[in-house]
Amino acid sequence: MSARTTRTRLFAAATVALAALSLTACEGDGLNTGSPKPASSSASADESTGPSDDAKDDTGSAGSSGSAGKDDASGSGTGSGSGEGSGSGKNTGGGKDSNSGSGSDSDSDLPGKCSASDVRITAKNAPRPINHLLLTATNTGSKTCTLPQYPAARFGEAQSVPPVAESSKPQALTTLASGESGYAGVRLSSGDGSAEGGHEVSTLTIPFEDGSIARAELPSGGVHVDNDLTVTYWQTSAANALEY
């Protein structure tokens, strides 16, 4: 073998050896770019990039999230949701209490007030008690009428009417149908002469609420009155009128 051939073979062997060393060094340093190096996942399997159930609000459901990609893969999730609720409550019910009633009785059906033209009044001495008069008012008209509460009796020229015995007040006014009578008692005097202002009178007038005046004839010779003069309310019976 010639020297030239020997040098050529040695050079080739050295070249192969250097190439092998270079390859070994590259593998040791991780410089092999032929295969990608696995990337670590930045999110654990337990984590979810989508919103949790608690994050959902009343406006709609949460969008789905993209799955986590491996290596350099990226995931995206889009979600849209809308919740609309409309409601109207209307209370159209209404309660109305109405009490409309009309009675069959009108004012014209009620008894009117008696006037002097409706009644005839007489005055007589009462058998008892002594010094008492019994006034009798008889309805001489054709319609029912109501007497005043008590007779506003004026004896003689008196400027005032005698007081009324409050204990004789009935529960209701005395109403007279045609032909019926009402009664009132009059205590003329003290009877024993103890009261002052005694005098004789011969006339008796009784005014009514409408301004009319009835005249009653007193017993013959007139009557004696003093400051104890008192009348009762009109009653429906003579006995009640003379109890006071």
Token reading at 68: 């986590």
Which tops the pLDDT comparison, 99 or 3? Answer: 3
Domains and CATH numbers, the chain: 113-241 (2.60.40)
Give the span between the Cα atoms of 233 and 146, in whole angstroms: 13
- Secondary structure of residue 19 in the 3-state scheme: helix
Residue 17 banded pLDDT, cuts 50, 70, 90? low
Q: What is the pLDDT of residue 30?
A: 44
For residue 105, what are the contacts with CB-CB under 8 A and spacing of at least 6?
A: none
Q: What average pLDDT does the segment 198-215 reach?
A: 94
3-state secondary structure 31-53: CCCCCCCCCCCCCCCCCCCCCCH
Average pLDDT over residues 211-231: 93
| pLDDT on residue 87 | 42
Omega before residue 163 within 30° of 0, cis: no
For the entire predicted model, the pTM comes to 0.56
pLDDT of residue 204: 96
Average confidence (pLDDT) over 66-81: 42
